[in-house]
Amino acid sequence: MTTEDPRAPRDSIAAELDGWTAPMAGVDPQTEAARQRIGRISRQFERLLGQVAADHGLTVGDWTALSALQRSAPPHQRTPKELADEVGVTAGTMSVRIDRLIQAGLVEPVADGGDPGRRPVRLTDLGRRRWSQATGQRTASERDLFGDALTRQELQQLNGLLARLLGHLEDTFGPASRHDTPRHQLR
């Protein structure tokens, strides 16, 4: 039997936890519950990203490429290889994304006379606006979701606990991969 706080709202994990842990001798229900919740919360935020991207006529991959360009120093341009390396995809995948973003008018090739496959691309004004609108919607949605579930003090406590857990995991396993960092760069 779990030792969940009976005052806590029931979620999908609370409803399933006893069934999972009963046949697994030696499994700590609290650890299992925390791990499962973190995974499900992560997947819910991925759903939010997909919804916001679609609202702005983007895929999550397109938005990630626009974000990488936006984070680069002005004039916000990168070669296809630099973008592929930064977001952790193959050159072929990035080529398809760049073609789609060029067709949508969100990025443009930089005229340098070089090989078109190596020619840098940069954000257009439309690309910068679309990225900004999508990112604004995402951050507002996240703020509302957290604010509906937690007080400011609870959010601060949650951040402290998560930081402590992530720090311990990174001390144990090395830096955590980011959605925008290829795993080979973390070794």
- Where do the structural domains in the chain lie, given as residue ranges? 12-55
Question: Which distant-in-sequence residues (6+ apart) come within 8 Å of 4 by Cβ?
Answer: 14, 17, 29, 30, 33
**pLDDT given at position 152:** 97
Residue 166: CB atoms within 10 Å: 12
**DSSP designation for 123:** E
Mean pLDDT of all residues in 106-112: 90
Q: How confident is the model at residue 186 (pLDDT cuts 50, 70, 90)?
A: very low
* DSSP assignment letter at 112: -
Which tokens go with 70? Answer: 């936006």
Q: Is the pLDDT of residue 6 over 90?
A: no
The predicted-structure confidence for 33-80, as pLDDT tens digits, reads as follows 999 999 999 999 999 999 999 999 999 999 999 999 999 989 999 999
Q: Is the pLDDT of residue 19 over 70?
A: yes
- Which CB contacts under 8 angstroms, 24+ apart, belong to 137-141? 137/52, 137/55, 137/56, 138/48, 138/49, 138/52, 141/48, 141/52
Phi-psi domain of 10 (left: phi exceeds 0; alpha: psi -120 through 50; beta: other): beta
- Quickly tell me which residue has 């969100």 as its tokens: 106
